Copies of this chain bind each other. A is one copy, B any other.
C-alpha cells in the first residue's frame, strides 16, 4: 500500500472492467506518474513527455484526461484535499480528549506522508511555490487543517487541558509549521528514518513546550512548586 495507496481505487467486485473504470485507472496511472516525476524534478522542470514515458502512455493521451499540464498539478491537489481531509477527520473523530485528537491528527499526518513520499515531496515543494496555480487548493487544504486544529484547541481549552491565554490563530500555525518542518527534514533526508515515531515527542513538545516548568515570568510560584 506504499506509494500508490492514495490513488488506489478499491475496485470491489466485478469480473469485467468497465470502460469507465479503465478510464479511471488510466487517469490515476497518469496522475501517479506525474507525481513521481514532479517529485524528482519539480513541476516546472518536468515535461509532459517524461510523465507520459513514466506512465507508459503517449504524450497525447495525457490530454485525454487532463486539460493541460497545470491541470495535472491541480487535480493532484484537488484529489488530495478531499482524500486527506477525510483521513484526518476520521482519525480525529476516533479520539475523545483534545490531546488524543491532536495526537491522532499528527500521527495520521506523518503516516500519510510517510506512506507516499512522492506526494510528500511534491506537496512540500509546490505548496509554497508562489505560482497562483494551486493557490486555492492549498488554501483549502491548509484551512481544513487549521480548522481541525483550532477545533481541538478550543475543545482542549473548554476541557481545561489547554491554556486559555493562547492566541489561537498563532497556535494552530505553530502546530502546522512544526509538523511540516519535521516532514520536510525527513523528505530532504531521503526518507530514511521512521517519520511516524516523531509523533509522540512532537505532541509532547507542543503540549509542554521546551521550558523546564513553564514560562519564566509570572510562574515563579509554579516553578517553585515544581522543583521542590
Contact = CB atoms under 8 A, between A and B. Distances in A.
Contact of A45 (B44, B125, B161, B177): B44
A19 interface: no
A128 B127 contact: yes
B185 A181 contact: no
A131 B43 CA distance: 9
A178 interface: yes
Given A42-B129, A178-B174, A225-B222, A209 B209 contact: yes
Is the contact region of chain A dominated by helix, strand, or loop, or is it mixed? helix
Contacts of A210: 153, 156, 162-163, 166, 171, 175, 206-207, 209
List the number of copies, as a whole number: 4
Interface residues of A, number: 64
A175 to B, nearest CB: 8
A125 to B, nearest CB: 5
A12 B207 CA distance: 50
Interface string A173-216: 11111111110110010000000001001101111111111111
Interface of A: 39-42, 44-45, 99, 121, 124-131, 139, 153, 156, 160-164, 166-167, 170-171, 173-182, 184-185, 188, 198, 201-202, 204-216, 219, 221-223, 225-227
